[in-house]
Amino acid sequence: MNEIKSRILLAEDDENLGSLLQEYLIAKNYETDWVTNGEKAFRHFEQFHYDLCLLDVMMPVKDGFTLASEIRMMNSDIPIIFLTAKSMKEDVLEGFSLGADDYITKPFSMEELLFRIEAILRRTKGIRGGDKENWEIGSFTFDAKKQMLKGTGTEQKLTTKESELLKLLCNNINQVLERNFALKAIWIDDNYFNARSMDVYITKLRKYLKPDPNVQIINVHGKGYKLVLDES
């Protein structure tokens, strides 16, 4: 069974397009809740956690711009992409003034929309929790600022790259950290030699975390790595 990547709130009043988008995104492993007006969308947003919102601009009951402003009052960080048939400069500017992360004009290809969703989620996952400096990882505590990993009776001073890599893993805990994203974030270039270097650092981090069997860094074939905590 494929792993669910993220949860998306889709607000689209066109039933044909909404159904098609929901089916496509679910097929791409995104849990997708589809509603047909802005008021229903806001009620869903109040009740459930979402990683990204896809909002049609022209909707009954409550339009996408009004919905976005209400969502922003509750959550200033969640990514928002507007879907619209309107391409007037004023409408685009209004969308971005409300904090839109992207704006795609109908008709659009599913592949283009997916590319934009994935690009935004990669970016937000990388920076979400970016100001956080301390984590509890099983029996360990990790201080990114001091580059220190402490366990039961152990203390390991990390190198800069070890600390940066562990911080990225912690920002994406129990989720896949994409290999190419980590390479570009830390090494700038995702070439072969940097990839081999990252493998060495992953091996070192595994060694440091080995005393706690409930903490693992696993390979996700063809994608990257995942810091997994077994809290059972």
Q: Which CATH number describes the domain made up of 134-229?
A: 1.10.10.10
Distance from C-alpha of 65 to C-alpha of 80, rounded to nearest angstrom: 11
* Chosen CATH of 7-127 out of 3.40.50.2300, 1.10.10.10, 3.30.830.10, 3.40.50.920: 3.40.50.2300
pLDDT string in tens for the chain (232-residue length): 456 678 999 999 999 999 999 999 999 999 999 999 999 999 999 999 899 999 999 998 999 999 999 998 888 778 899 998 766 666 667 777 777 778 888 888 999 899 889 878 876 665 454 557 899 999 999 998 899 999 988 899 998 889 989 999 998 888 888 888 888 778 766 777 778 888 999 999 999 999 999 999 999 998 899 999 986 5
Peptide bond into 211 cis (omega under 30): no
Within this chain, domains 7-127 and 134-229 share the same CATH topology:
no
Q: Any idea where the domains of the chain sit in the sequence? A: 7-127, 134-229
Distances (CA, A) of 170 to 4, 21, 43, 67, 126: 19, 31, 31, 32, 10
DSSP 85: S
| Burial of residue 209, with CB atoms counted within 10 A of its CB: 0-12 exposed, 13-18 middle, 19 or more buried | buried
